[in-house]
């Protein structure tokens, strides 16, 4: 039970990333806990219950899109840090089949339609790393904002398909406030990046749908941007 409680914030993150919605993701987690978890060790039962309750129609089924299992395995291994063997148990695949599905999903990520990305990050080195990673995923960076005010100006000046925002901008303000201000005039999916993702998953207030941990993993960034663009909704009220 203690392992499930400790894993709950990350289970909520996984469910939200699958569905593209805070409300839908949290509802699936609640259903999983009510219905009971599969007999898997540690936190794997929670992830497995979430996986099995996620409706297929919540995922993109257009030609060329990632398969349902591909998305699930990428999120479990890249975003949540599970081994391939553990992720295979969660999804209900043979390990060899899971490896093949993962390889196909990673290859498919390279062919995804590009979008325009606004980066909100106050640390220059991290911002440059993010820019390189975003561009390596095939996307275009429309601008890098170091402050809340600059982010609002850049969003107004350049059409944006995705926002990648740090939560803490130091003296430059707050990334969540910057996003709230931007969303008053445009509707765009957002990924929040933070070294402490569990602090945004406390169930204490309206929270973002997409959260990625620092330091950044290229595959985690690729699948997170894909999910945000294809399944994303307005991330905060």
Which residue, chain included where needed, has tokens 């890249």?
A: 78
| 14: in domain | yes
Kindly report, residue by residue over 57-82, the tens digit of the pLDDT: 555 555 556 788 998 999 999 889 99
The verdict on residue 237 lying in a domain is: no
Q: Tell me, what CATH number does 219's domain have?
A: 3.40.50.2300
User: Domain of 79?
Assistant: 2-109
Of the three residues 109, 129, 158, the one that is the final residue of a domain is: 109
**Considering its fold, how many domains does the chain have in total?**
2
Range list of β-strands (E), 39-188 = 116-120, 140-145, 162-166
Q: Are residues 105 and 129 in the same domain?
A: no
Q: What is the mean pLDDT of residues 215-219?
A: 77
Between CA 108 and CA 87 the distance in angstroms is 19
**CA distances for 222 relative to 20, 128, 200, 225, 227, angstroms:** 15, 16, 21, 5, 9
Is residue 226 left, alpha or beta, with left meaning phi > 0 and alpha meaning psi from -120 to 50?
alpha
Is residue 209 in a domain? yes
Taking residues 6-32, what's their average pLDDT? 88
Q: Can you give the pLDDT at residue 206?
A: 46
185 inside domain: yes
Identify whether residues 148 and 78 lie together within a single domain: no
Model pLDDT for residues 90-100, shown as the tens digit of each residue: 999 999 999 99
Contact status, residue 53 vs residue 72, Cβ threshold 8 Å: no
Q: Are residues 104 and 55 in the same domain?
A: yes
User: 103 and 181: one domain?
Assistant: no
Flag whether pLDDT at 218 surpasses 90.
no
CATH number at residue 39: 1.20.140.160
According to DSSP, the β-strands at 116-120 and 162-166 are parallel
The reply to whether 147 and 170 lie within a common domain is yes
In order of 5, 7, 9, 85, the CA distances from 42 in angstroms are 10, 9, 14, 14
What percentage of the chain exceeds 70 in pLDDT?
86
Q: Indicate the pLDDT class of residue 45, thresholds 50, 70 and 90.
A: very high
Of the residues 66, 82, 109, the one at which a domain ends: 109
In this predicted structure, the answer to whether residue 15 has a pLDDT above a threshold of 80 is yes
Q: What is the mean pLDDT of the chain?
A: 84
Decide if 193 is inside a domain. Answer: yes
Residues 206-229 have a mean pLDDT of 76
Does residue 144 sit in the same domain as residue 191?
yes
Is residue 73 situated within a structural domain?
A: yes
Q: Among the three residues 109, 134, 156, which one is the final residue of a domain in this structure?
A: 109
């Amino acid at each position: 039970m203690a392992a499930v409680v400790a894993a709950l914030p990350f289970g909520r993150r996984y469910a939200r990333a699958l569905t593209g919605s805070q409300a839908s993701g949290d509802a699936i987690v609640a259903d999983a806990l009510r219905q009971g978890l599969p007999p898997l060790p540690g936190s794997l039962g929670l992830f497995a219950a979430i996986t099995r309750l996620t409706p297929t129609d919540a995922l993109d089924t257009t030609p060329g899109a990632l398969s349902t299992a591909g998305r699930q395995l990428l999120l479990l291994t890249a975003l949540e840090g599970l081994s391939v063997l553990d992720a295979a148990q969660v999804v209900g695949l043979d390990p060899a089949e899971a490896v093949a599905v993962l390889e196909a999903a990673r290859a498919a990520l390279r062919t995804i339609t590009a979008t325009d990305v606004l980066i909100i990050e106050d640390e220059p080195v991290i911002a440059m790393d993010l820019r390189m990673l975003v561009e390596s995923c095939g996307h275009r960076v429309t601008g890098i904002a170091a402050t809340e005010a600059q982010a609002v100006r850049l969003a107004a000046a350049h059409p944006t398909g995705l926002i990648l925002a740090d939560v803490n901008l130091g003296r430059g303000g707050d990334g969540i406030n910057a996003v709230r201000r931007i969303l008053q005039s445009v509707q765009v999916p957002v990924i929040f990046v933070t070294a402490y993702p569990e602090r945004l998953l406390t169930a204490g207030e309206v929270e973002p749908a997409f959260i990625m941990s620092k330091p950044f993993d290229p595959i985690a960034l690729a699948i997170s941007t894909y999910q945000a663009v294809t399944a994303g909704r307005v991330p905060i009220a």
